[in-house]
Chains A and B, each alone.
Chain A
Amino acid sequence: MKQLWKLFFIPHEKNNHRAKILQPSFIGLFVALYLLNQSLIRSFTIIKPGVLGYSSEITIQKVFDQTNQMRQKNGLSALHYDSVLSRSATNKASDMFKYDYWAHNSPQGKTPWDFFKAEGYQYSIAGENLAKDFYDTDSMMKAWMNSPTHRENILNPKYQEIGIGVVNGILNGVKTTLVVQHFGAPLNGQVANDLPTGYLPPPSANAKVLSDVVNTAPVKTISPLQISQTVGAIMFIVIIGTLIIDAYYTFKNKTYRLAGSSAGHVGFLLLILFIVLASRQGVIF
């Protein structure tokens, strides 16, 4: 066992003065194992759709409140909740689940505006924001606000109304929550003052409790991203650790050998490890 450890992690004459784990053939094995892991995750989502997924605690109420908070912070008027727009947003989310796509335009050629029209919403200006795989409303709003085009929709002074769809389902075999924001300004200029079913008195001056479509409590699921991140991080930590041990022994024994720069590899892999760990779940469109 000790010999095996030495062979894999300590540079000495039996491994040609380079830890076995750092030799290109072994790194190639890591690549193969990682690809196998990804194939297994992908196959699992096809064979058992909905087992892996992203849990979410996002609700319409939170999205509505935070959208208006952002607008008011920027000196804009709050958007009115509109049940027609909310239906079009919910229909859009349901359509993405039904036809298994993630885009503004559906594979059947439906544009976002078709969903507005299907509900009879006549607009002078309209917009759509999409998000998926986010756990909480804060990080989703932050992602939207960091994106110039999504931010433009949220802070557009021409919009007067908003409808929000928060729908759970299975997309590409993975359980997730899709969030759709539909913005608009009615063509006739008459802004709706809808009260969704189950309306409760607002907890604050600008917030309404919206409960016509409520996201259920988050269900604990294992996300494919978590699995990929964990496997990737373990691999990088093992390789970085071995590179440091390797560099130490090479320096200590003053060994000359034909090999890449351990310091360079450590820096590069630390950067990649940072990116892997910094990747957060959630995509906007």
Chain B
Amino acid sequence: MRHFILYLAFAIAATLFIYFSFNPRIQRDIIYATAGSYFLWSLYHHYQVGDLHLSIIIEYLVFIVLALVVLSATFLFS
């Protein structure tokens, strides 16, 4: 169920991203909101599972940083 909600949120983010294709500022906000939501979801998910540890938090942060770095560069040149 938790993963279903997450995938639903990603699908909504993708739809909004296409819908606001004319406005890079809103697109950027969608990306930041999605990344932030993903991080919050990870905290909730691992808290529920019972394995919320610093190493897991770092793992999620590193994945989010990678995504944001790649997207910033893509936006810089698009």
Q: A residues near B, CB below 8 A? A: 24, 27-28, 30-31, 34-35, 38, 41, 133, 143, 146-148, 150, 223-225, 228-229, 232, 235-236, 258-261, 263-265, 267-272, 274-276, 278-284
A133, A264, A274, A281: most-surrounded residue (chain B CB, <10 A) = A264
Tally A-B pairs: CB < 8 A: 112
Those 5 A-B pairs whose CB atoms lie nearest each other, nearest first: A147-B22, A146-B22, A225-B77, A232-B70, A224-B77
A-side contacts of B64, CB under 8 Å: 268
What is the interface of chain A mostly: helix, strand, loop, or mixed? Answer: helix
B-side contacts of A271, CB under 8 Å: 10, 13-14, 34
Closest chain A residue to B65 by CB distance? A31
Q: Contact at B18–A260, with CB atoms within 8 Å?
A: no
Q: A31-B65, A282-B78 are in contact. Are A260 and B59 (CB under 8 A)?
A: yes
B-side contacts of A269, CB under 8 Å: 63, 67
- Beyond the given pairs A35-B69, A261-B3, 13 more chain A to chain B contacts, judged by CB atoms under 8 angstroms and listed by A's residue number, are A24-B62, A34-B69, A147-B22, A147-B23, A150-B22, A260-B46, A263-B3, A267-B3, A267-B7, A268-B63, A271-B10, A271-B13, A276-B71
A-side contacts of B3, CB under 8 Å: 261, 263-264, 267
Mark out the residues of chain B between 9 and 67 whose CB falls within 8 Å of any chain A CB in the assembled complex: 10, 13-14, 17-18, 21-24, 31, 34, 38, 41-42, 45-46, 51, 53, 55-56, 58-60, 62-67
Some 30 contacts from A to B, beta carbons below 8 A apart, are A24-B58, A24-B59, A24-B62, A27-B63, A27-B66, A31-B62, A31-B65, A34-B69, A38-B76, A147-B23, A228-B70, A228-B76, A258-B56, A260-B46, A260-B60, A260-B63, A261-B46, A264-B6, A264-B38, A264-B42, A267-B6, A268-B10, A268-B64, A268-B67, A276-B70, A279-B75, A281-B77, A281-B78, A282-B78, A283-B24
